[in-house]
């Protein structure tokens, strides 16, 4: 076994693995990522993906992708396909080790029969309400089922007939025979199989009984040779049951379940159920809405796989749940795109500027660097003409204190071009500013060696050459740091009404006309943006990934 090659900071899980390797308990580390295909993956799953696949990578081990598909009523091939796409996009590969829990249905059934024969399981014919009533409470023991002492032969007959479809849903369940007085409610004779006459995405109509997750999961881990079964803290209380099934079946070389803190992000919800409600109730446009914390939503918004992997490393692996500031995720993508994204000029809210002393028929090519962080990205030329557009916010008729942009009688530098001075403000009949008339200083061309300087530099586009685009400014979906943490309020009440602003009259430099879906840029002074898949031959659509700075941090300190 080679020494691990990772540079990821150590944590308590890696310390356990290190000890297992040192003592010879294991010579090959084998993990798995086991999503249920009942929804799209979110950033919390991304952390688990990075952990499981990352450990396998760093210890020269293996990691499986396994779909824990034991509930046909909520699972769909759409989710299976999306999960594969997300894992691959994050940069991980399961090689030929993609499995389904449903691949093991025959073996899981055989193990259930063995449990019946060993006296560790029985068929219960109680109603759903009776099952609920006999569970007891956390402080009071449960009651024994009147069917608990059925004979092995009767249990085998009933379980076989359940499999053969002779009974309706809910008529019987198979339960493990453990301890109805256990202080752990999960150990009080949990259901192992239930009747569900539903079509399964993988096995079709072959089965009408389906194993419960808590039963299928540990056995699937064992069958795949998993050494360390990593899961989030809510499964800590399930661990005794995980171990009980493996012990009851007398399975050797058992995997070890280890729990870690799940990822909780500020200003979002991480519950699949709540995310599904947002989609179904129309609060967002779909699972891939760029405001969603889903991996496909983050991808569409312009996040990079590197930024998410770096974020997962920075968050680390803890033993206790905590709320992580979403600003850390935004910093990760900002840091990554700063090194990669070409700088381009785009005017989101255009204001026309006429350079009155510039030749009418002249077009100059202004050279500008593509990314000052990476010289290898080179430079490009952008057209400059008599009429240009600047941002409305870059002009104030009555300038505020320390406003170093354009105002009447004041000068500003146009990035990679000239210094200009505002001479006249043109307004319409309602008093709205429609145009600025300015003069330019021909001796101040960027790169010409001019030493004259002014305090402000603004971006611009040529009116004659600019390309029209739609820009979508996304903000945080909720106004509250912990929208799911209020007993007195429904999380929907905390949705940010200003989480999306659509600007449909934006102008971008002509070079961007060739941009394709997924291409990422820094709009100079405005933030990082990504071309949306909705773009077509008629209009380019850009999503704002993140601003250049954390504007929410400023708001919280004001």
Using DSSP, state whether 490 is helix, strand or coil: coil
- How many other C-beta atoms lie within 10 A of the C-beta of residue 43? 24
Please state, in angstroms and rounded to a whole number, the distance separating the CA atoms of residues 41 and 50.
Answer: 13
Q: Is 57 in the active site?
A: no
Dihedral sign for Cα 403, 408, 413, 415, please. Answer: positive
The whole-number average pLDDT for the span 82-93 is 98
Q: Is 262 in the active site?
A: yes
- Give tens-digit pLDDT for 401-444: 999 999 999 999 999 999 999 999 999 999 999 999 999 999 99
- Residue tagged active-site, from 262, 343, 413, 520: 262
CA angle 540, 545, 547 (to 5 degrees): 115
Domain boundaries, the chain: 12-260, 265-342+469-557, 351-459
Please state, in angstroms and rounded to a whole number, the distance separating the CA atoms of residues 284 and 277.
Answer: 10
Beta bridge partners of 365: 383
- Give tens-digit pLDDT for 242-273: 999 999 999 999 999 999 999 999 999 999 99
Sort strands 461-462 and 387-391 into parallel, antiparallel or unpaired: antiparallel
In the DSSP assignment, the letter for residue 394 is: G
Topology of the domain covering 351-459: Ribosomal Protein L25; Chain P (2.40.240)
Q: Print the SS3 string covering 151-183.
A: CHHHHHHHHHHHHCCCCCCCCCEEEECCCCCCC
Please state, in angstroms and rounded to a whole number, the distance separating the CA atoms of residues 382 and 509.
Answer: 7
- Give tens-digit pLDDT for 156-170: 999 999 999 999 999
Using DSSP, state whether 98 is helix, strand or coil: strand
The whole-number average pLDDT for the span 229-233 is 96
| Token pair listed for 380 | 């490009």
Asked if 478 and 503 touch (Cβ cutoff 8 Å), the reply is: no
For residue 4, pLDDT over 60 is answered with no
**Long-range contact list for 484-491, CB < 8 A, 24+ apart?**
484/269, 484/270, 484/271, 484/274, 491/269, 491/274
Predicted confidence at residue 549, as pLDDT, reads: 86
Asked if 230 and 97 touch (Cβ cutoff 8 Å), the reply is: no
> In angstroms, what CA-CA distances link 206 with 210, 286, 362?
11, 32, 75
Predicted confidence at residue 10, as pLDDT, reads: 82
Asked if 309 and 51 touch (Cβ cutoff 8 Å), the reply is: no
Using DSSP, state whether 267 is helix, strand or coil: coil
Predicted confidence at residue 537, as pLDDT, reads: 84
- Residue tagged active-site, from 4, 66, 239, 272: 272
> In angstroms, what CA-CA distances link 332 with 299, 335, 438, 481, 500?
14, 5, 40, 19, 22
Q: pLDDT > 70: what percent of the chain?
A: 97
Residue 530's φ and ψ, nearest 5 degrees, are -130, 140
The whole-number average pLDDT for the span 304-314 is 97
Q: pLDDT > 90: what percent of the chain?
A: 94
Sort strands 527-531 and 520-523 into parallel, antiparallel or unpaired: antiparallel
- Report pTM: 0.92
Check if 12-260 and 265-342+469-557 are the same fold: no
- How many other C-beta atoms lie within 10 A of the C-beta of residue 489? 12
> Which parts of 125-208 are beta strand (E)?
173-176, 191-195
Please state, in angstroms and rounded to a whole number, the distance separating the CA atoms of residues 356 and 354.
Answer: 6
With CA atoms as reference, report the closest residue to 463 among 553, 386, 521: 386
| Token pair listed for 520 | 């990422």
For residue 551, pLDDT over 80 is answered with no
Q: Is 411 in the active site?
A: no
Please state, in angstroms and rounded to a whole number, the distance separating the CA atoms of residues 86 and 102.
Answer: 21
Please state, in angstroms and rounded to a whole number, the distance separating the CA atoms of residues 394 and 382.
Answer: 20
With CA atoms as reference, report the closest residue to 203 among 111, 66, 105: 105
Asked if 296 and 40 touch (Cβ cutoff 8 Å), the reply is: yes
Residue with the larger pLDDT of the pair 9 and 57:
57
- Give tens-digit pLDDT for 500-522: 999 999 999 999 999 999 999 99
For residue 1, pLDDT over 50 is answered with no
Please state, in angstroms and rounded to a whole number, the distance separating the CA atoms of residues 330 and 267.
Answer: 12
Asked if 211 and 193 touch (Cβ cutoff 8 Å), the reply is: yes
Using DSSP, state whether 284 is helix, strand or coil: coil
Asked if 223 and 71 touch (Cβ cutoff 8 Å), the reply is: no
Q: What are the counts of helices (DSSP H) followed by strands (DSSP E) for the chain?
A: 13, 27
Asked if 445 and 417 touch (Cβ cutoff 8 Å), the reply is: yes
With CA atoms as reference, report the closest residue to 113 among 103, 123, 128: 123
- Residue tagged active-site, from 36, 75, 224, 259: 36
Residues 6+ apart with CB under 8 A from 38: 71, 74, 75, 76, 79, 272
Please state, in angstroms and rounded to a whole number, the distance separating the CA atoms of residues 20 and 168.
Answer: 48
For residue 144, pLDDT over 70 is answered with yes
Using DSSP, state whether 439 is helix, strand or coil: strand
**Which element (helix H / strand E) includes 552?**
helix 551-557
| CATH number belonging to the domain at 12-260, selected among 3.10.20.30, 3.40.50.300, 3.40.50.620, 1.10.3720.10 | 3.40.50.620
The whole-number average pLDDT for the span 479-489 is 93
> Which parts of 60-159 are beta strand (E)?
62-67, 98-100, 121-124
Please state, in angstroms and rounded to a whole number, the distance separating the CA atoms of residues 211 and 415.
Answer: 65
With CA atoms as reference, report the closest residue to 229 among 217, 237, 241: 217
CATH number of 265-342+469-557: 1.10.1160.10
Q: Give residue for tokens 């509930």.
A: 71
Please state, in angstroms and rounded to a whole number, the distance separating the CA atoms of residues 351 and 544.
Answer: 21
Asked if 439 and 508 touch (Cβ cutoff 8 Å), the reply is: no
Q: Give residue for tokens 């007398």.
A: 250
């Amino acid at each position: 076994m080679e020494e691990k090659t990772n540079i990821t900071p150590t944590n308590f899980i890696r310390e356990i693995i290190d000890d297992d390797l040192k003592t010879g308990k294991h010579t090959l580390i084998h993990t798995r990522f086991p999503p249920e295909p009942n929804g799209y993956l979110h950033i919390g799953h991304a952390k688990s993906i990075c952990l499981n696949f990352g450990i396998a990578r760093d210890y020269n081990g293996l990691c499986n992708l396994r779909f824990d598909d034991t509930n046909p009523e909520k699972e769909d091939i759409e989710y299976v396909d999306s999960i594969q796409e997300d894992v691959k996009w994050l940069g991980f590969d399961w090689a030929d080790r993609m499995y389904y829990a449903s691949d093991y249905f025959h073996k899981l059934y055989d193990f259930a029969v063995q449990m019946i024969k060993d006296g560790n399981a029985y068929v219960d014919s109680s109603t759903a309400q009776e099952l609920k009533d006999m569970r007891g409470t956390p402080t009071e023991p449960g009651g024994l089922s009147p069917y608990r002492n059925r004979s092995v032969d009767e249990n085998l007959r009933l379980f076989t007939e359940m499999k053969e479809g002779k009974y309706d849903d809910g008529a019987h369940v198979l339960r493990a025979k453990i301890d109805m007085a256990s202080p752990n409610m999960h150990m009080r004779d949990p259901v192992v199989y239930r009747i569900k006459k539903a079509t399964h995405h993988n096995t079709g109509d072959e089965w009408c009984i389906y194993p419960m997750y808590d039963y299928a999961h540990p056995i699937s881990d064992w069958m795949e040779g998993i050494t360390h079964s990593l899961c989030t803290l809510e499964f800590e209380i399930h661990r005794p049951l995980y171990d009980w099934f493996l012990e009851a079946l007398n399975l050797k070389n058992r995997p070890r379940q280890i729990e870690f803190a799940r990822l909780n992000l500020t200003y979002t919800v991480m519950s699949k159920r709540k995310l599904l409600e947002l989609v179904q109730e129309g609060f967002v446009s779909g699972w891939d809405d760029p405001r969603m914390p889903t991996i496909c939503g983050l991808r569409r918004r312009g996040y990079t796989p590197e930024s998410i992997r770096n974020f997962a490393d920075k968050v680390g692996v803890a033993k206790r749940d905590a709320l992580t500031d979403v600003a850390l995720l935004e910093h990760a993508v900002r840091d990554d795109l700063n090194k990669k994204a070409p700088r381009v000029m785009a005017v989101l809210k255009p204001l026309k500027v006429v350079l009155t002393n510039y030749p009418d028929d002249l077009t100059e090519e202004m050279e500008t660097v593509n990314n000052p962080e990476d010289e290898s990205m080179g430079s490009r030329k952008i057209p400059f003409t008599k009429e240009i557009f600047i941002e409305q916010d870059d002009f104030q008729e009555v300038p505020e204190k320390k406003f170093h942009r354009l105002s009447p009688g004041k000068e500003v530098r146009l990035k990679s071009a000239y210094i200009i001075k505002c001479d006249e403000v043109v307004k319409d009949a309602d008093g709205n500013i429609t145009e600025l008339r300015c003069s330019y200083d021909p001796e101040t061309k960027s790169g010409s060696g001019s030493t004259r300087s002014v305090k402000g530099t603004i971006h611009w586009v040529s009116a004659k050459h600019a390309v029209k685009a739609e820009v979508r400014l996304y903000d945080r979906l909720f106004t509250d740091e912990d929208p799911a943490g209020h007993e007195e309020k429904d999380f929907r009440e905390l949705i940010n009404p200003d989480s999306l602003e659509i600007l449909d009259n934006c102008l971008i430099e002509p070079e961007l006309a060739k941009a394709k879906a997924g291409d990422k840029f820094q709009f100079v002074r405005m933030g990082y943006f990504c071309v949306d898949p909705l773009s077509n031959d008629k209009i380019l659509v850009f999503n704002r990934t993140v601003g250049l700075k954390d504007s929410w941090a400023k708001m919280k300190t004001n």
